[in-house]
């Protein structure tokens, strides 16, 4: 059908899914909203802060009165309204978070004062406005603070709590079918013969789908024959996205693409210049998008992370999914054959950060993948990197 580079394939996935996704929303309690995607915008219900507020424990003063020895006219605590007015030449003791008394225009930190009975001595000058968080400086009443399409994590939940949203409208989670194929693949409850493998892909994909915000539905394993594959694909199409693993390479029994074609699928690409995961298929049947992910565990994991994850996030209503790329310093030289963008298991250390490739036996080496906390990303156009060079990393 079509061969794409990594960047082209990524663009195709994002554009196709964004253009054809079908979003529905529901109302949930704030307690249940973490990890969901906002389907409405959220606005400030009042000014934030609602009054001028102190950011320090200390004394509210008029800057013009400093330095000086000022009588302490009273106290405002956090949780008290500021009733008392500050007169010229006075100080009012104030706590962090308390409203600034009218008449004051600065706060002096308690550490910069000497209290002497009913008065306080301040030896330094103060700038007007210092340590005051003015009313409305964080947000104005009615201002939009979160837009639809924003995924809700702890900070966004805190913001919704701040503005008094006890319920929030979020998008429905997309349902994602997971269909493993392969005559050699057995359920994890079975004891595999030497020529068989346990179905690890269904498990890794289910976790990846869930992390991305989708609801995984694992189907039985399809045999490498058309009837079995057709029957299970048909079941898998009752979903927003169908993920198939295996059966998309050039082998005699790799029939997934053919069976998808029999359903009248639109194919957007069926080969991407990456490794692992080159024979990757992406398309759509009616309203259901699908990926045919190559069956080797590393291929399945990598192609999900770099392509299918964005599809799940978009189907979940996220406005703009990003890949968590960063740069890290290589601890050893790295060479590869140009032409393919490679995603290889690696360890990123804390600090600088430093990047170390993990030795592995290739795409079936799940043990190496489990030792990795990242994938190093070897650009398709560059052949070699020296120790100490910065290299791109995809964080897991």
CA distance 375 to 370: 11
Q: Which does 296 bind (CB under 5 to 8 A by kind): ligand AMP, Mg ion, none?
A: ligand AMP
Q: Which of residues 181-200 bind ligand AMP (CB under 6 A)?
A: 182, 184-185, 197, 199-200
- Which of 54, 133, 296, 341 contacts ligand AMP by CB under 6 A? 296
Beta pairing class for 281-285 and 266-269: antiparallel
Q: Based on CB atoms, which residue is closest to ligand AMP, 364 or 373?
A: 364
- As beta bridge partners, residue 345 has 375
Q: Based on CB atoms, which residue is closest to Mg ion, 166 or 193?
A: 193
**CB under 8 Å to 131, separation ≥6 — which residues?**
54, 55, 56, 58, 106, 107, 108, 109
Q: Based on CB atoms, which residue is closest to ligand AMP, 123 or 227?
A: 227
How far, in Å, are 45, 58, 110, 116, 257 from residue 122 at the CA level?
Answer: 38, 11, 10, 11, 79
Q: Based on CB atoms, which residue is closest to Mg ion, 189 or 252?
A: 252
> CA 329 from chain center: how many Å?
24
Q: Which of residues 69-108 bind ligand AMP (CB under 6 A)?
A: none
Interaction of residue 228 with ligand AMP, rule CB under 6 A? no
| SS3 (DSSP) at 341 | strand
Task: Give the dihedral sign, CA 110/112/114/118.
Answer: negative
Q: Based on CB atoms, which residue is closest to ligand AMP, 151 or 223?
A: 223
CB of 231 to ligand AMP, least distance (A): 18
Per the CB < 8 A criterion, the answer to whether 393 and 348 are in contact is: yes
CB of 343 to Mg ion, least distance (A): 21
How far, in Å, are 53, 133, 169, 254, 267 from residue 159 at the CA level?
Answer: 18, 18, 15, 50, 42
Interaction of residue 182 with Mg ion, rule CB under 5 A? yes
Give me 257's structure tokens.
């693409």
**CB under 8 Å to 351, separation ≥6 — which residues?**
none
Q: Which does 201 bind (CB under 5 to 8 A by kind): ligand AMP, Mg ion, none?
A: ligand AMP
CB of 202 to ligand AMP, least distance (A): 6
CB of 279 to ligand AMP, least distance (A): 7
CB of 358 to ligand AMP, least distance (A): 19
Give me 187's structure tokens.
């359920």
Q: Which does 294 bind (CB under 5 to 8 A by kind): Mg ion, ligand AMP, none?
A: ligand AMP
Interaction of residue 201 with ligand AMP, rule CB under 6 A? yes
Interaction of residue 246 with Mg ion, rule CB under 5 A? yes
Interaction of residue 295 with ligand AMP, rule CB under 6 A? yes
Q: Which stretch binds ligand AMP (CB under 6 A): 72-80, 110-118, 270-278, 291-299?
A: 291-299
Q: Based on CB atoms, which residue is closest to ligand AMP, 58 or 246?
A: 246
Per the CB < 8 A criterion, the answer to whether 394 and 375 are in contact is: yes
Q: Which of residues 362-381 bind ligand AMP (CB under 6 A)?
A: 364
Contacts with ligand AMP by CB under 6 A: the residue count is 19
CA distance 138 to 44: 10
Q: Among the residues of 213-324, which ranges form H helices? A: 226-236, 256-262, 297-303, 309-315
Binding site for Mg ion (CB under 5 A): 182, 246-247, 295
Binding site for ligand AMP (CB under 6 A): 180, 182, 184-185, 197, 199-202, 245-247, 249, 251, 294-297, 364
């Amino acid at each position: 059908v079509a061969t794409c580079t990594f960047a082209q394939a990524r663009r195709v996935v994002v554009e196709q899914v964004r253009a054809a996704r079908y979003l529905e929303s529901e109302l949930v309690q704030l307690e249940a909203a973490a990890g969901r995607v906002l389907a409405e915008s959220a606005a400030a219900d009042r000014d934030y802060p609602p009054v001028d507020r102190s950011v320090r424990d200390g004394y509210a003063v008029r800057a013009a009165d400093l330095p000086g020895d000022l009588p302490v006219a009273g106290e405002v605590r956090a949780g008290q309204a500021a009733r008392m007015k500050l007169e010229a030449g006075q100080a009012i003791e104030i706590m962090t978070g308390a409203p600034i008394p009218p008449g004051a225009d600065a706060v002096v930190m308690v550490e910069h004062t000497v209290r002497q009975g009913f008065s306080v001595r301040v030896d330094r000058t103060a700038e007007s406005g210092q340590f005051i968080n003015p009313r409305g400086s964080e947000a104005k009443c009615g201002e939009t603070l979160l837009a639809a399409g924003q995924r809700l994590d702890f900070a966004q939940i805190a913001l919704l709590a701040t503005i008094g949203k006890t319920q929030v409208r979020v998008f429905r989670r997309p349902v994602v079918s997971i269909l493993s194929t392969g005559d050699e693949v057995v359920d994890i409850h079975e004891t595999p013969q030497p020529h068989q493998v346990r179905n690890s892909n269904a498990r890794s994909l289910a976790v990846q789908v869930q992390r991305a915000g989708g609801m995984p539905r694992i189907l039985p394993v399809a045999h490498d024959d058309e009837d079995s594959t057709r029957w299970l694909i048909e079941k898998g199409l009752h979903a927003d996205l169908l993920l198939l693993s295996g059966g998309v390479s050039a082998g005699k029994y790799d029939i997934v693409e053919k069976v998808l074609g029999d359903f009248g699928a639109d194919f957007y690409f069926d080969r991407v210049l990456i490794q692992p995961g080159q024979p990757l298929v992406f398309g759509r049947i009616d309203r259901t998008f699908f990926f045919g992910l190559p069956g080797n565990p590393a291929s399945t994991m990598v192609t999900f992370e770099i392509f299918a994850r964005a599809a799940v996030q978009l189907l979940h209503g996220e406005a703009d999914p990003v890949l968590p790329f960063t740069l890290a310093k290589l601890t050893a030289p790295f060479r590869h054959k140009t032409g393919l963008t490679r995603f290889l298991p690696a360890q990123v250390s804390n600090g600088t950060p430093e990047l170390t490739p993990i030795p592995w036996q290739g795409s079936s080496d799940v043990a190496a993948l489990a030792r990795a906390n990242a994938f190093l990303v070897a650009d398709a156009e560059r052949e070699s990197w020296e120790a100490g060079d910065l290299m791109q990393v995809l964080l897991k």
